[in-house]
Structure 1
Amino acid sequence: MSHTLAKTVGGIGCAVLALPLLAALIVAALVGSFIPGPAGGTDAAPSKYALSDIPPRMLALYQRAAPECPGLSWTILAAIGKVETDHARHPTMVSSAGAIGPMQFMPTTFPAYAYPVPPGGKRPPTPWDPVDAVFAAARMLCANGARNGKNLSGAIYSYNHSRTYVRQVLDIADRYQAQAAHAAAPNQRAAIAVAFAHAQLGTPYQWGGDGPHEGGFDCSGLTKAAYAKAGITLPRVAEAQYHATSKVPRGKPLLPGDLVFFGRLGNLHHVGIYIGNNQMINAPNRRSVVRIENYHWTDFWGATRPTQ
């Protein structure tokens, strides 16, 4: 936990990036090659280390909050969360300097970056709430130079006035990014479906849910909604989706947008959207949110490729 925080008070710094624009940016990255920016691209895939070190809810939150500052990688937010409180695992989350909460805000600094209250945040916002704190951290970094990576090191230094701190954050952020490049999506429809799924990270799991208007998604509700956004209609449940889509032969490489299924024929109980680097976006269970996970589950059955 940091003990020398000296955060400056200023304006919000940047506006919320609209979801359609976010989707367009992700589509552009997926259709072409992945080119990492400083300390990880804005849509950088989590490394194995990140998936093992960051609690799934916090990982989804870092990914959801990063677009608050255009060009900011979620890996920077995650690295700050790691250094400050080990992703809210610190027993008190109070520093000797009086900084509080998972992202270690001074109580006098936090209000400058707390509004607008993000979806799922507290009302009134509080630095103790992970959603409020992570979004406020993204806004503060943006206000101090992180927008489009123009002065990322300076922005991190403004968060904690220590050169050692800056190097530590950048090193962890690099370790949190998967080093392998993204495979290209096979077509624009697959890229749109993946972009939609990315935009849902952090959305609560809801049995039978087809979207936030119902409180969230279940696994097949997420895949159905993602491909509906791309203009492809899928059946509602996992088993039916498997039979309605083109099978990827075993041993052939998967591509972003492929559907990955789990269980066995007659009881395919789960489905996710493959995004590359052996990872999928899925809505796993009632105790979780839409998140990124490794797809190599023990009961993986096979993959399909939706087509028009």
Structure 2
Amino acid sequence: MKLSPTRLALLIGAAALLLLVAVIVSPMLLISLPSFLSDGGTVPDCEDGTRVEEVSDSGTTDIPGEYLDLYRKFGKKIGVQWNILAAVGKRETDHGRSDLPGVKSGTNYAGAAGPMQFLVSTWGGKARIPMSSTFTGYASDGDGDGVGDIYNPADAILGAARMLKRNGAPENVRQALFVYNRAWWYVDQVVEIAKRYAKSGDVKLPPQASEECDDPMVEAAPNDVVAKILEYALAQRGKPYLWGGTGPDAFDCSGVIYAAYRAAGLTIPRTTFLQWPFGVKVLAGQEQPGDLVFFNAGPGTSPDSPGHVGLVVSKGKMLEARCTRCGPIKVTSYQARDNRVGFTRPLQNPGVLEQLKKLENPSV
């Protein structure tokens, strides 16, 4: 079909108009899309079950972009309120902008250093520590360079998040802040700053995952038995820790795992000390849902006799009942723990393999 010059001109003009509309609309879509995705108050993160609360105008204005990203990143990773982390950074050094001694080099009169003002002794005894070395403290490697640098914002903020978590955050955040700097006036000041930084004007607990986030974890289980274990375990979140508890209203760390396996028709040892030698050892990185992850924690424990255990529910995540003051049963990160001992797979224990055969063929 041969087009007339007039019709050809009209078609070229229409194509040009469509191209112009696309050029104008596409940037608008690109501008509006990130604002929707960054609405941490409404969009769940199914990987770890937390939601990052939206930042207030005050927070956006006052907090440097690099620091805001780090507060949100490590708050979510460790499971503490990002705005509490940010408020500590503001109160201590104005997010690293202070020129007082100890912020960028050296220490202050009390021996504290860096943007989050860690005592060097609490950090690990030195301001810069190779993470391959053995030390006791909160030295952390937030930027992945292999060194825990007390003056590095990423390292210091990750260390602060771990310290707050260790001492009661997110549930008992006031207690955690008191341990950070032992003065109740300090706690009050930090909480007030944190409220200004959050759009809600409050200090909220990072919520646990909803059922919409549980389903993919259960569906990704390697088999139906593990799916049953995960389904039961995840349903216990929010229940309190009770030493010696095996449910249904409260559990301790090994008790909730014992009950989850029992819900799948399997019997494993009741206590952490017996669960550790029971399962087949699994190399780090090869763990999968249904495996157990152990920690050198608690009185009378050691690397050869770990005192705390969690249930792997997805890569890097575990369900745990940690302690009375640590809050309710929840899903947390095991990758952030520096006292991890190892992984085991109870489903590969010879006795459990026999139980599985009987479940498959009850007549045997």
State the structure with bigger RCO (CA 8 A, min sep 6), 1 or 2. Answer: 1
> TM-score, normalised to structure 2's length?
0.38
- TM normalised by structure 1 equals 0.45
* Structure ID, larger Rg: 2
